[in-house]
Chain A
Amino acid sequence: QVQLVQSGAEVKKPGASVKVSCKASGYTFTSYDINWVRQATGQGLEWMGWMNPNSGNTGYAQKFQGRVTMTRNTSISTAYMELSSLRSEDTAVYYCARGRGDMDVWGKGTTVTVSS
């Protein structure tokens, strides 16, 4: 079945970077955009950006410009989101989700905790 499987939870210190992976299966990876959305505990959903796995083109929300990088490895149908210069406010669940407009398939989320 169509699914996105994300990497496991991470604990990082302030100032460090984190790289989360999202492995696609059950469909052609290069045919659908991958988005990254995060959610702090008890808060709403925040869209971070998107990547076209075919071209590698990306677009990032202004808030994350300069700190986020979205990449992919088409040979293993995997997308990556790297967030640098982490601060405590980046503690959240990070989701990958498939889709150009609406997002119809979501990973289960990766918890990233930033703590000294």
Chain B
Amino acid sequence: DQQVKQNSPSLSVQEGRISILNCDYTNSMFDYFLWYKKYPAEGPTFLISISSIKDKNEDGRFTVFLNKSAKHLSLHIVPSQPGDSAVYFCAASARNSMNYGGSQGNLIFGKGTKLSVKP
């Protein structure tokens, strides 16, 4: 059973507009969330993260919103640029869960959303 879901496998956006990537999770023990960007033949690159004690975190053009009651988070990219075209992965971690043996090293990833930004 997938604990982290990215229901849109792909998204196409015009340059300069907003890109919104969505992610849903099922495990209420998750308390830390991260977004990664991945280009072909490269490892994922960390973008931005958010702790469950916050509902928003902003870094330049990237903003992550967390809605704990809905178990939903989203990544907003404004304005979108052609260089943003990549696969975006949402990941979650249960930092303080004994079910994870107290380990913080276990990230659960969604299957990714391929973003295409058209010039």
Q: Do chains A and B stick together as partners?
A: no
Residues of chain B touching chain A, judged by Cβ–Cβ distance below 8 Å, are: none
